[in-house]
Structure formats: C-alpha cells, structure tokens
A and B are shown apart, each in its own frame.
Chain A
Amino acid sequence: ETGVTQSPTHLIKTRGQQVTLRCSSQSGHNTVSWYQQALGQGPQFIFQYYREEENGRGNFPPRFSGLQFPNYSSELNVNALELDDSALYLCASSLRRMGGGETQYFGPGTRLLVL
C-alpha cells in the first residue's frame, strides 16, 4: 500500500458528460501527478500539481483540468467526455525536492468507461 487513495474506483459515463476524479496523496508528499493509461499501453502524463498550481502538462486538451488543495489532495476534471477517454486514471504522489528526480507512488486508479 502506497498511502495514495483515489475515488471512485469505477465510473461509467456517457459521451458529452463531465467527470471529477479525486486523489489523496501520501502523508508528507506535496506533489500530485495524473496519468491516463489506455488498455495495453503505458501511462501517459496528463499534468502535475505542486503548491496548488499546475506544474507541467502533457499532450491533453484543455477539457482536462485539475486542482490541488491546501492539504495536497487533488481533483481531475474532464469535460465533454469522448469514447477515447475510457481508460484507467492514475494519481501519483511524490515529495518535491531540490534537483528533482523524486519517486512517484501510484494510487489504485479510477477506471472510467465512456459509453
């Protein structure tokens, strides 16, 4: 167990709907990263939050947005859902340090199915 929690575990939505996924980071960690993992692929970086600000973004459209709260928990919001958004969404927490290279620990993920 990494101490990273995510909710919900599973979700079914229809095209055009909006979804919010939640993540609580490991105690002592200050950085949260979100990844999308399609079936049979490696996780793809969506974005990262540090000190409540977005700190880097992958190749995802603006309808993917997020928040980080003062307690370092985070939300991922996806608007106007598309069928291709069906995937496992992973949250990873880490402790930002000088020089970078911190280790990221993953939560159990949220499996989203868009019909």
Chain B
Amino acid sequence: QKEVEQNSGPLSVPEGAIASLNCTYSDRVSQSFFWYRQYSGKSPELIMSIYSNGDKEDGRFTAQLNKASQYVSLLIRDSQPSDSATYLCAVNSRQGAQKLVFGQGTRLTINP
C-alpha cells in the first residue's frame, strides 16, 4: 500500500463547477497535510495546509480533513481554466525528519 494515494485522473470538470480532489494516507501519526498545485514544467506551489479535523476555506479553495478515516480532500469552487494543473497531496508525520510524503498527483482539466 502506498503511503499517500491519489486518483491520477485525468479529472475533467466544466468551467464554473466544483472540482473535488481526494487523497488517503496510511500513517496514522500524520499530523500536517498540504495541497500543492503544479503546472506542467513548473515546481509545486502551496495551495492549502490543514492540521485539524474539519474544513479550512481560503477563497475558492476548501480543504477537508478526516483523521479517523485518514482522508483529506480539496474542493475548488467556481473552477476556472487556470485551475487546470496537477494537484499533489502531501503528508508530514511530525516524527523524525520533517519530510513530505507525496501522492502521485491528480491531473485536473477545467473545460471552458
């Protein structure tokens, strides 16, 4: 079992709709969770971080965390063509080296 799993997609969503991206993780001691956006040929860019169970909203983005289910998600409201990118879920265990463990990413395409 991979430590962090994401559906690789591609996920295709019409412009203006809600895009829902999901991620599961295997390490129960994981404490910090991040969503990064990566455009083709570029480096990952931080979108959201979440540490506690529940929802965290930032503009059109909402991160949701459920530690009991070991599940974290990202919702993008009013999707725009500029949101088309690969979205990487990353998990940090807070134990030992503060390394990020990434999923393989979900490729999202917003169709005008």
Contact = CB atoms under 8 A, between A and B. Distances in A.
Interface of A: 2, 31, 33, 35, 40-45, 47-48, 55-58, 88, 90, 92, 94, 96, 99-109
B88 interface: yes
A90 B52 CA distance: 28
B32 interface: yes
Nearest to B8: A40
A101 B51 contact: yes
Nearest to A33: B99
B45 A106 contact: yes
Contacts of B46: 103, 105-106
Contact of A40 (B42, B102, B104): B104
Given A42-B88, A101-B32, A103-B34, A94 B104 contact: no
Contacts, number: 74
How many of chain B's residues touch chain A, expressed as a range? 20 to 34
Given A45-B99, A56-B97, 15 more contacts: A2-B45, A42-B4, A42-B102, A42-B104, A43-B44, A43-B100, A45-B100, A90-B44, A92-B100, A96-B98, A100-B95, A101-B98, A102-B98, A104-B98, A108-B43
A50 to B, nearest CB: 9
B104 A56 contact: no
B26 interface: no
A31 B104 CA distance: 24
A45 B91 CA distance: 12
B20 interface: no
Contacts of B62: none
Contact of B43 (A56, A58, A103, A107): A107
A4 to B, nearest CB: 9
18 contacts: A33-B99, A41-B104, A43-B44, A55-B97, A58-B99, A88-B43, A92-B100, A99-B94, A100-B94, A101-B31, A101-B51, A101-B98, A104-B100, A107-B43, A108-B42, A108-B43, A109-B42, A109-B43
